[in-house]
Chain A
C-alpha cells in the first residue's frame, strides 16, 4: 500500500510528466523522446515518456505491441530510425558505455551460458564494471538464496531474475530495465519479486522500468504506467490517474445505442447486456448504467477492443 506522501508525490510527478518541456536529469532517470522504428510489418511510432527518479514504471501492452522493441531501442540494441533516449542525463547514442556502467538490464530469460556455473559468469561480468562491490554481491546472493556453484540451467526462472538483480545492484546500477521479469514466475515468486522492486526504489535514488503483460503485477507495484498498443503510445501517466480517468460501465443490450458505442473505448456483449470501458469525462448524467472502477487488465482489454472496432 502506498503511503499518503508517496501518492501526493506521484500526483506532482504525473503533472510534471505532462509538461514535455521539462527535462531535468535531477527529476528524471530516463527520458524517451519521439522514438520510432519501422519494420516491414510493424512500426514503433513516436514513443515519448519519462521515468522519474525513485519510482517504478510498468510497461504494458499485448504480445507484439512493441514493448521489447522499445526497450531494445532505448538501449541501442535495436537502432531506432529517429528519436532520442536520455538515461541519467546522458544521450544513449553518445554515451552508451558510460550509461551501461550505471544501469542494469535483462531482456528475456537470463539464460546465458546455461551450462556454466553462476560463479564463472560472475567472474567475467564483474571485470567489466568499475563500481563492482564484491561484498554487496555476496550479500545479495545470500539474501536471494542463489547458490554460486549451480549452473544457470539449474536455477529457477525466479532465481535467474534475482541473479540479474544481484548483478545490477552490485555494480550500483541506478536504473533497472527488465523485459517481462515476472512472466515465468509462480504467484509467490512474483509477489516476492514485486516486494523486492519496492525495496529497491525505497531510497528514492533508483528507478525500475519493467515490461509485462501480467497487469496484476502493476496493480501491486507500479507508480507509473506506459501503455503501448500496436507501436502507438496509448497512455503515459501515473497508475492512479490512468485508473481514475476510466470507468467500466454495464447495461442492457437496449442501452447500447450507436451514440453510446461512440463514447465507449471498447465493449463486450454478454448474455445480460454489455460491459464497456469509457473515459470518465465521456460519462453523461443521463446515462443509466452500472459503473465500476476498472483495473489495468480491464483497461488493456477494452483498449484492444477499440482497435478491433
Chain B
C-alpha cells in the first residue's frame, strides 16, 4: 500500500492539486456556504484522472507485480488523499472563520463545526460510492461517473443544509458553536469517519469486481 501511494503521489497526482487544495481558503469569505468551500475536491479528481488516462497510468500499473485489484486500491488511495487533504486544509480556515470572521455564526448555512466535518465526510462517502463503481466499469470513461458523483454529492449537501435548517432539534445541536452541543457534533463526526472508511471499503470491493472483467 505504501508503494502504491508513493506511485500515486509521484506520478499521478499533478502539482496543480496542491493549488486547488488551498481553495477551502474560501471559507474566510464572510457569510459563505461552508459546504461549497469543501466541494472543490472534484476539480482535483477530474484533473488527476484525466491526466492519468492520458499518461496510460493503468497500463503502467498493470506492468507492476501487483494484482489487478491494487490498481483499484491505488485510485482509492489517491482520492482519499485528495479528500482528506481538502478537509485538513479546511480545518484552520474554518477555525479562523468561526472564531474571527463569523463569530455569531454563518448566516448562509451550517457553521464549520465538528458536525460539519462529519457531514462532509458522509457527503464524500456518497460521492465515492457513486463515482468509483461507475468509473471502474470501464477503467477509462470518467465523464458520466464524475457527473453522477457530483450530482449525488450536491444533493447530499443540499439535503443536510435543508434538514438542519428545517428541523429545530438538529439546528440547535448540530449548527452553531455552542460547546454544550459539541457532544452531539462529535457523534456526527465519529459517524462520518466510520461511514467514510466503510464507504471506501464497499466502493473498493464493488469496483474491484467490476474492474476484474475489464480488458486493459
Contact = CB atoms under 8 A, between A and B. Distances in A.
Interface of A: 72, 75-79, 96-101, 105-108, 111-116, 120-121, 123-125, 127-129
A96 B212 CA distance: 13
B215 A77 contact: yes
A120 B11 contact: yes
B216 A116 contact: no
Nearest to B214: A79
Contacts of B215: 72, 77-79
Residue from A79, A97, A112, A123 with most neighbouring chain B CB atoms (10 Å): A112
23 contacts: A77-B216, A78-B216, A79-B213, A79-B215, A96-B67, A97-B65, A100-B64, A101-B65, A106-B63, A112-B55, A112-B59, A113-B11, A113-B56, A113-B57, A116-B55, A120-B11, A123-B10, A124-B3, A124-B6, A124-B7, A127-B6, A128-B64, A128-B66
Interface of B: 3, 6-7, 10-11, 55-57, 59-60, 62-68, 212-213, 215-216
B55 A114 contact: yes
Given A77-B216, A79-B213, A120-B11, A113 B60 contact: yes
Nearest to A77: B216
B60 A127 contact: no
A147 B35 CA distance: 48
Interface centre among A76, A77, A106 (most CB of B within 10 A): A77
Nearest to B212: A79
Contacts, number: 62
Nearest to B63: A105
Given A96-B67, A101-B65, A111-B56, 16 more contacts: A72-B216, A78-B216, A96-B68, A99-B65, A100-B63, A112-B56, A112-B57, A112-B60, A113-B56, A114-B55, A115-B55, A116-B11, A120-B11, A124-B7, A125-B64, A128-B64
Closest 8 A-B residue pairs measured CB to CB? A100-B65, A112-B60, A77-B216, A78-B215, A101-B65, A128-B64, A113-B55, A127-B3
A208 B192 CA distance: 52
A94 B66 CA distance: 13
A123 B3 CA distance: 10
A100 B62 CA distance: 9
B3 A128 contact: yes
Contact of A124 (B11, B59, B213, B216): B11
Nearest to A96: B67
Nearest to B3: A127
A15 B28 CA distance: 78
A113 B53 CA distance: 10
Given A114-B55, A127-B3, A121 B11 contact: yes
Contact of A76 (B59, B64, B68): B68
Q: Which of B6, B68, B215 has the most CB of A within 10 A?
A: B215
A112 to B, nearest CB: 4
